[in-house]
């Protein structure tokens, strides 16, 4: 398929481009960027992108696709379908499946399943430890050779510091990054952020220290051995400051946050709203301000969704029993535009950097840019066009979103994956 995207504002931070121009796609790759190409007589699909932004497809490096084993929550087909509706053309999926993705066979299964039914590119993440039990290292080399792009015990912390050290050492040999879910289990026991709101609701509070103690530990271990670590879903002012200082010292640490940590506060839990229950928990306005500052000054490298679909029954229950996590793939771009770009925290180019360029670099995947010869993964949207979230209409199997009724901007109108139009004028093509 040949596609010409005309007159859009092309934002390609990796190549320093932000201008109105055309993009020509041929055989799945970008073959030209510019207006003066001679395409007379060439048969092709033309997309008029006047007034819209043309950006690299988003890369979400923290997604739970739930397959294999938990398909009642989500599967690779529905998860990647939700992804493309959100403008996400590549997802890295976490290994806390059933069985755990801790060996070559599961990595290979996920990749072949994605090739068969996926709407977006899927990059599996392998476990740090066998069964994510935190005892023995998983087969890191074997998984990396099979295509795992990172290792993580996400969902659980790696409690044993020596195991974390060995994970950083081994992963270096195979050039995959360790993604750390930072939580001190004993300190982290609870239902929501520790403070007045939790007390007023009679719920057990989770201290910020639960996250910060582990973030500090990981930074210290990485610094001691010259290792590399990526800290997942940071939510507190203290974590931002720890990472800011570590980066200044030259520690090889990167990190991510999620839209809910800059769009919501702990007050979203009021009324025992289980769709606001997550781990780490929603924090305070002071933390939200610090997260925005960390995004603005470059301390926080990436915005990821931590897309965590659950069955309705796992959320329609007492707050204390409800599962942690929310779906996020279909609302992340809209929240980024609303809470960061419209509020002057980030430019559109910086938002795309954090949602496409930096995750690609951290994972070492050839995505997140629009240069000639690159994979044609593209999202086209109007950043000023409003839309309203209706959680009953989400394409994920999980409807556990706290954003029902939110007015957001920039719903993707066209999404191209590997040179194929997957979303056309907001509609799924296949």
Positions annotated as catalytic residues are 306
Rank residues 60 and 154 by Cβ distance to Zn ion and give the closer one.
Answer: 154
Instruction: Tell me, residue by residue from 244 to 273, as one string, x for binding to Zn ion by CB under 5 A and - for no binding.
Output: ------------------------------
Q: Rounded to whole angstroms, how far apart are CA atoms 213 and 202?
A: 25
Q: Shortest approach of Zn ion to residue 262 CB, angstroms?
A: 17
**Three-state SS across 109-160?**
HHHHHHHHHCCCEEEECECCEHHHCCCCECCHHHHHHHCCCEEECCCCCCCC
Number of residues that bind Zn ion (CB under 5 A): 2
State which residue, 275 or 279, has the beta carbon closest to Zn ion: 279
- Least Cβ distance, residue 10 to Zn ion (angstroms): 34
State the minimum distance, in angstroms, from the CB of residue 154 to Zn ion: 4
Cβ-based nearer residue to Zn ion, 398 or 412: 398
Report the distance separating Cα 90 and Cα 39, nearest Å.
30
Interface region with Zn ion, contact rule CB under 5 A, candidates 70-78, 99-107, 164-172, 181-189: 181-189
> What's CA 100's distance to the chain center, in Å?
20
Mask 192-231, x = binds Zn ion (CB under 5 A)? Answer: ----------------------------------------
Q: How far is CA 206 from CA 185, 266, 277, 279, 310, in A?
A: 10, 11, 12, 9, 22
Stretch that binds Zn ion, among 7-15, 104-112, 178-186, 308-316 (CB under 5 A): 178-186
Which of the stretches 2-10, 53-61, 177-185, 263-271 binds Zn ion when contact is defined by CB under 5 A? 177-185
Q: DSSP for 280-345?
A: SPP--HHHHHHHHHHHHTTS--EE---B----GGGTSS-GGGSPP----TTTHHHHHIIIIITTTS
Which residue number places its CB atom closest to Zn ion?
Answer: 181
Contact 177, 147 (CB under 8 A): no
Omega prior to 68 cis, within 30 of 0: yes
Choose, by CB under 5 A, the member of 52, 64, 181, 367 that binds Zn ion. 181
Scanning residues 35 to 74, which ones bind Zn ion (CB under 5 A)?
Answer: none
Smallest gap, in angstroms, from Cβ of residue 219 to Zn ion?
Answer: 17
Judged by CB under 5 A, the stretch of 20-28, 141-149, 179-187, 267-275 that binds Zn ion is 179-187
Q: SS3 of 225, please?
A: helix
Bridge partners (DSSP) listed for residue 47: 5
Residues with Cβ within 8 Å of residue 16, at least 6 apart in sequence: none
CA end-to-end distance (rounded Å), the chain: 15
Contacting residue, 67, 154, 191, 194, with Zn ion by CB under 5 A: 154
DSSP letter (8 states) at residue 352: H
Q: How far is the CB of 160 from Zn ion (least distance, A)?
A: 17
CB of 217 to Zn ion, least distance (A): 16
Which one of the spans 68-76, 176-184, 260-268, 289-297 is the region binding Zn ion (CB under 5 A)? 176-184
| Contacts with Zn ion, residue ranges (CB under 5 A) | 154, 181
């Amino acid at each position: 398929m040949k596609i010409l995207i005309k007159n859009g504002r092309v934002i390609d931070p990796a190549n320093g481009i932000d201008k109105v121009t055309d993009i020509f796609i041929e055989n799945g790759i970008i073959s030209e960027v510019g207006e003066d190409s001679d395409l007379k007589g060439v048969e092709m699909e033309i997309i008029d992108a006047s007034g819209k932004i043309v950006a690299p497809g988003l890369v979400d490096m923290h997604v739970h696709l739930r397959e294999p084993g938990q398909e009642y929550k989500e599967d690779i087909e529905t998860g990647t379908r939700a992804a493309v509706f959100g403008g996400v053309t590549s997802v890295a999926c976490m290994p806390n499946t059933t069985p755990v993705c801790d060996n070559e066979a599961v990595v290979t299964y996920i990749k072949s399943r994605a090739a068969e039914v996926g709407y977006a590119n899927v990059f599996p993440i392998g476990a740090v430890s066998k069964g994510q039990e935190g005892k023995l290292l998983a087969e890191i080399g074997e998984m990396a050779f099979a295509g795992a792009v990172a290792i993580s015990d996400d969902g659980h912390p790696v409690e044993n510091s020596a195991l974390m050290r060995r994970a950083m050492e081994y992963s270096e040999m195979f050039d995959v990054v360790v993604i750390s879910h930072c939580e001190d289990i004993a300190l982290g026991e609870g239902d929501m952020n520790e403070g007045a709101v939790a007390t007023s609701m009679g719920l057990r509070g989770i201290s910020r220290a639960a996250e910060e103690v582990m973030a500090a530990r990981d930074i210290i271990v990485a610094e001691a051995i010259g290792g590399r670590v990526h800290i997942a879903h940071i939510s507190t002012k203290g974590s931002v400051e720890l990472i800011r200082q570590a980066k200044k010292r030259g520690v090889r640490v990167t990190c991510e946050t999620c839209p809910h940590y800059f769009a919501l506060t702990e007050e979203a839990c009021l009324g025992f709203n289980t769709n606001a229950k997550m781990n780490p928990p929603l924090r305070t306005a002071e933390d939200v301000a610090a997260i925005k500052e960390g995004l603005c000054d470059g301390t926080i490298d990436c915005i990821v969704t931590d897309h965590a679909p659950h069955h309705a029954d796992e959320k329609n229950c007492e707050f204390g029993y409800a599962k942690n996590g929310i779906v996020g793939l279909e609302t992340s771009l809209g929240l980024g535009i609303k809470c960061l770009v419209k509020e002057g925290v980030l430019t559109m180019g910086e938002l795309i950097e954090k949602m496409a360029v930096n995750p690609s670099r951290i994972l070492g995947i050839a995505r997140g840019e629009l240069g000639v010869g690159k994979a044609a993964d593209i999202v086209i949207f109007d950043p000023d066009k409003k839309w309203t979230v209706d959680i009953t209409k989400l394409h994920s199997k999980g409807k556990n979103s706290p954003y029902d009724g939110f007015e957001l901007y920039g719903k993707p109108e066209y999404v191209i994956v590997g040179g194929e139009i997957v979303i056309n004028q907001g509609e799924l093509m296949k």
